[in-house]
Amino acid sequence: MAAAKKPRGPAAAPARPVNIGISDTDRQAIAGGLGALLADTYTLYLTTHNFHWNVTGPMFNTLHTMFMQQYTELWNAVDPIAERIRSLGHPAPGSYAQFSALSSLPDAPSAPPRALEMVRLLAEGHEAVARTARGIFPVAEAANDQPTADLLTQRLAVHEMAAWMLRSLLED
């Protein structure tokens, strides 16, 4: 009988120490914040893609197209966030269970909401992701981590603009 495989636990420490001018403590804190940002981004991606598939009503074409642009941008954002975590010497979260535990966003509703409710939920989602990104700045700045600060600035610009555009659709 073959020996049972050992269960995989948390990722082992890197084989070689990471010496990029940021302390282990700061790298861990930044990676943790970026893990939450990754989870929020992926959760918002899934919700946006869900709404793209399920939107109906008189604004169908406008929202279907807008949601496609937004979920494509979100999809393209997850890799740079995950790779920044890896650059800091930490494993990037990548399972639904991890994303669910780390995300500040709720899962998409099980039944598709009406179109303007979708817009409201996505606006709130982009605002929440912006808050998550903004919350990482103090430790990144204190650690003199310019690459993370640059990534956060880019993400904030995207999420704040998307939230504004979505909120604009809710005006009378």
- CATH code for the domain of 119: 1.20.1260.10
How confident is the model at residue 60, as a pLDDT?
A: 97
Dist CA 71 CA 68 (whole Å) = 5
Task: Identify whether 141 is part of a domain.
Answer: yes
Task: Identify whether 75 is part of a domain.
Answer: yes
Task: Identify whether 147 is part of a domain.
Answer: yes
Task: Identify whether 8 is part of a domain.
Answer: no
Locus of tokens 């604004």: 59
| CA distance to 14, 44, 63, 73, 133, per residue, from 148 (Å) | 20, 21, 32, 19, 10
Task: Identify whether 6 is part of a domain.
Answer: no
Number of domains the chain contains: 1
CA dihedral 127, 129, 133, 134 (to 10 degrees): 20
Query: Tokens for 121?
Result: 């939920």
How confident is the model at residue 130, as a pLDDT?
A: 98
How confident is the model at residue 14, as a pLDDT?
A: 52
How confident is the model at residue 172, as a pLDDT?
A: 80
Locus of tokens 């406008």: 62
How confident is the model at residue 19, as a pLDDT?
A: 86
Task: Identify whether 74 is part of a domain.
Answer: yes
**pLDDT beneath 50: ranges in the chain:** 1-12
Task: Identify whether 82 is part of a domain.
Answer: yes
Task: Identify whether 150 is part of a domain.
Answer: yes
What lies within 8 Å, CB to CB, of 41 at 6+ separation is 74, 77, 78, 81, 129, 155
What domain range includes position 33? Answer: 24-169
Local structure of residue 33 (DSSP, 8 states): H
